[in-house]
Amino acid sequence: MTAGLETVNALRVGRFWMLVARIGWALLVLLTLALFVVAIPARFAQLLSITPAGDNALVLLSPEEAAQLQQHGISLSLYALYFIVLEAAFAAVYVLMG
């Protein structure tokens, strides 16, 4: 009789910690999404900036690259918006898969 009761108590404790873990996971996901959304305007402003040497890792443009975009009829705002949408799409895939 006591072995069955111990098993039931162990399951209750397991359920409690599972609930705590799920709530913690949900809070972590919400915090991450909130930080991502809050950072979008700063990232947009960063993409609009032109640096002397450019920065391929951050997708920042050099003056020559910005001039080439202008020659092709692509504004800096469209360029920045394109990368914001692309980064948001990647983030959405990771959130939905994860």
Q: Is the backbone of residue 23 left (phi > 0), alpha (psi -120 to 50) or beta? A: alpha
* Contact indicator for 76, 69 with CB cutoff of 8 Å: yes
What pLDDT digit, counting tens, does each position of 74-98 carry?
Answer: 999 999 999 999 999 999 998 888 7
User: Of 67, 87, 83, which Cα lies nearest the Cα of 75?
Assistant: 67
Please give the model's pTM, rounded to 2 decimal places. Answer: 0.73
Q: Which bin fits 73, alpha (ψ -120 to 50), beta or left (φ > 0)? A: left
Q: Report pLDDT digits (tens) over 35-69.
A: 999 999 999 999 999 988 877 778 888 899 999 99
